[in-house]
Amino acid sequence: MNIRSLLVAVLSVGGSTSFLVPSASAQNDDSHPGAAVYQRDCAICHGGGNARAPRLGILQAMNTDDLTYALSEGLMAEQGSVLSAQDRATVIEYLAAPEVALEAWIADIRCTADRRLVDLNGPAAMRTPGVQITASRMISEEAAGLSKGDMEDLELAWALAFPGVTTLRAAPVVVGSTVFYSAVNTRKVLALDAATGCIKWVYDSPTPLRSSVSIAELGDTGRETLFFGDARGQVHAVDARTGAPVWVVSGRATEGSGNISGSVVLHDGKVIVPISASGVGAGARPDFECCVGHGAVTALDMTTGERLWSYATMEAAEYTGKVNSAGARLRGPSGAPIWSTPSIDASRGRVYVTTGENTSLPATETSDAIIALDIETGEELWVFQATPNDVWNMACGRRNGPNCPDAAESIRRDWDFGGSAILVELPDGRELLLAGQKSGHLWALDPEDGNVVWAQRRGRGGALGGNHWGIAIDGERVFLTISDPGAGDDRIPGVYTFDIATGTPLWEHRLSPDCSGDRQERVPGCNSRYGISATPLVVDGAVVTAGLDGRLHIFDGVDGRVLFEFDTARPYETINGIEGTGGSVDSFSIAAGAGMIFIGSGYGS
């Protein structure tokens, strides 16, 4: 199965993954010794035992470098550490897709001289994934170059395929006619011409990339600079006009663990870096001494990369004196990772972050929480914990493994906050802090002290359900998207709208599965995984959403009327001539600017 991820641009749409398999590899040879290693050590999760684990077809689309990184120092490092060097090499050889000459297709679509200029004087539609530092996910007609009325007339402009890439998860920066895009697993950031998709410049990272991109002037130098994170927790600063590196430094609060899943946010000469580390995946191993790693925030000097302060969501894990049923010693506390992009409260001088669950006992008060920090010192000012005692790791599932905590000590829900907390000012001058949770809750807090002003809930929630990667507002209304995979009357994937000031329910749109025609073949799981997990975006009052089944839905934010729908999970003729087919849309894969909407379709799930 050859997987190609695409950036699809409608009036322009942008991104996608194929479900095709390479012919010239060891993947179709069940007698290959790597097949036995896979069945013995990997299939228990990747064969369907864990909803979060990519299926075999996705693994077989990864290249040798990415598999090696994943098993040596990436998300699967703990699992890889128990394999012998021979077994690790053998299973990588079995899984790896044929190598692709990346430089060849990049050279083929370099912009001609008349389109190569990076003009940073044009309208800035998206300077950060939240669009503003308050994380509203709201763009005006002027900034986007699109009105709500334009949405009904969208059409496909171009599609760009990324060979050997299984996951598109990042939001681009869009300034003038240039789209700055982190095509994560390619280890490249591309400056693309918005109108045609041709490449203006390429930045090569030595490590896999993971986060979205933000842009700001470098101190008082006048030099517009891109900032983004990688899977090693490093922050890269790159000249936006040329792609030349400025600096690369570690953003980790402590060395050894943690990556950057959300984007860094830039304010007042500081780079605020969210760190996700938890041991959530390693906990699935019965012999792992669960768990270590925790969320953190660091502040760096924007000009030099020098560390200014750091904050940890808990103290470092220690051995608790207990063992699991397999005899492995247990460690804790751990977890409360920060998956999201921080938001900034400039008037109060605060940073707001949201956190995930604990991954081992003892539970802490900082998990499944919204936390306010002093932007100058990193001091913790207040904590709102939405769900106490939520301790969960990948040992918890249909059959709980040795590292899953006892039900008497944890509710075991995995009810993270995956999206940013949005700071919004109301017409009467009051301010609220809004955030969606994987429980299906929508919270409105007083930003002064973290007290609850109002709350709503829709759906059942779950490890992959509820509100996964965040919400959006239009100034009067807040839009809660619900993922809720699976079946049952209590699972209600769709969009739910509330009055920001009061929490009063307004309109809602419940989604139904679409497995018509050949979609059952093109979109495995189309009857159960069709909810909205990706962060929505509001463009001139139109609510842009996209689902796990690849369908793009755009609504009128006032009344919920459907303005436009488009199936991204289909084959495309791409500008770089590489075969590609769209897939799931997830994470931060919706963006707008330069008169276009960009969708990253293909999440490897």
From 97, 119, 150, the end of a domain falls on 97
The answer to whether the beta carbons of residues 566 and 551 sit under 8 Å apart is: yes
82 in the same domain as 217? no
pLDDT at 8 over 90: no
What contacts 335, CB < 8 A, 6 or more positions away? 278, 279, 280, 291, 293, 294, 295, 313, 314, 356, 357, 358, 359, 360, 364, 367, 391, 393
Residue 45 dihedral angles phi and psi, to the nearest 5°: -100, -50
* Sheet with 551-556, edge to edge strand ranges: 138-139, 537-539, 542-546, 551-556, 562-567
252 in the same domain as 393? yes
With a pLDDT cut of 70, the percent of the chain lying above it is 89
pLDDT at 61 over 70: no
From 373, 408, 443, the end of a domain falls on 408
Each residue of 452-486: pLDDT tens digit? Answer: 999 999 998 988 899 999 999 999 999 999 999 98
Exposed, middle or buried: residue 532 (CB in 10 Å: 0-12, 13-18, 19+)? buried
What contacts 163, CB < 8 A, 6 or more positions away? 2, 4, 100, 102, 105, 578
Query: Which has more confidence, 93 or 367?
Result: 367
Is the residue at 301 inside a domain?
yes
The Cα–Cα gap between 178 and 199 comes to: 9
User: Which pLDDT belongs to residue 318?
Assistant: 97
Is the residue at 256 inside a domain?
yes
In 3D, which of 592, 462, 580, 586 has the Cα closest to residue 2? 580
229 in the same domain as 351? yes
pLDDT at 6 over 60: no
Each residue of 100-130: pLDDT tens digit? Answer: 666 778 888 999 999 999 999 988 999 999 9
The Cα–Cα gap between 70 and 147 comes to: 42
Peptide bond preceding 333: is omega within 30 degrees of 0, i.e. cis?
yes
Peptide bond preceding 291: is omega within 30 degrees of 0, i.e. cis?
yes
Q: How far is CA 109 from the centre of its chain?
A: 27
pLDDT at 63 over 70: no
Residue appearing with tokens 């060849």: 104
User: Which pLDDT belongs to residue 4?
Assistant: 43
User: Which pLDDT belongs to residue 78?
Assistant: 64
pTM of the model: 0.90
DSSP 307: E
User: Which pLDDT belongs to residue 106?
Assistant: 87
* Sheet with 477-482, edge to edge strand ranges: 472-473, 477-482, 494-499, 505-510
Which of 92-96, 109-113, 244-248 is the least confident region? 92-96
From 97, 114, 139, the end of a domain falls on 97
The amino acid sitting at 303 is T
What is the overall mean pLDDT for the chain?
Answer: 89
Each residue of 279-333: pLDDT tens digit? Answer: 898 898 899 999 999 999 999 999 999 999 999 999 999 999 999 999 999 999 9
Query: Which has more confidence, 259 or 505?
Result: 505
Where residue 28 falls among pLDDT bands split at 50, 70, 90? Answer: low
Each residue of 391-412: pLDDT tens digit? Answer: 999 999 878 999 999 999 999 9
210 in the same domain as 85? no
217 in the same domain as 73? no
Q: Output b/e per residue, 10-41; b: 16+ Cβ within 10 A.
A: bbbbbbbbbbbebeebbbeeeebebbebbeeb
Which of 11-20, 108-117, 324-333, 540-549 is the least confident region? 11-20
CATH number at residue 59: 1.10.760
The Cα–Cα gap between 264 and 286 comes to: 35
Where residue 21 falls among pLDDT bands split at 50, 70, 90? Answer: very low
Q: Which two tokens stand for residue 109?
A: 């679509």
Which of 30-34, 42-46, 62-66, 382-386 is the least confident region? 62-66
- Which domain range does residue 393 map to? 205-408
Average pLDDT rounded to a whole number, residues 375-381: 98
Average pLDDT rounded to a whole number, residues 556-572: 95
Roughly how many angstroms between the first and final C-alpha of the chain, as a whole number? 14
User: Which pLDDT belongs to residue 65?
Assistant: 67
Is the residue at 120 inside a domain?
no
User: Which pLDDT belongs to residue 27?
Assistant: 57
User: Which pLDDT belongs to residue 326?
Assistant: 96
351 in the same domain as 229? yes
User: Which pLDDT belongs to residue 231?
Assistant: 87
Beta-bridge mates of residue 565: 553
The answer to whether the beta carbons of residues 456 and 442 sit under 8 Å apart is: yes
222 in the same domain as 368? yes
With a pLDDT cut of 90, the percent of the chain lying above it is 69
Is the residue at 427 inside a domain?
no
Peptide bond preceding 362: is omega within 30 degrees of 0, i.e. cis?
yes
User: Which pLDDT belongs to residue 86?
Assistant: 79
Is the residue at 318 inside a domain?
yes
CATH number at residue 300: 2.40.128.630
User: Which pLDDT belongs to residue 1?
Assistant: 31
258 in the same domain as 402? yes
Is the residue at 114 inside a domain?
no
Each residue of 481-505: pLDDT tens digit? Answer: 999 998 788 899 999 999 999 999 9
Is the residue at 110 inside a domain?
no
pLDDT at 16 over 70: no
Is the residue at 342 inside a domain?
yes
Q: How many domains does the chain have?
A: 2
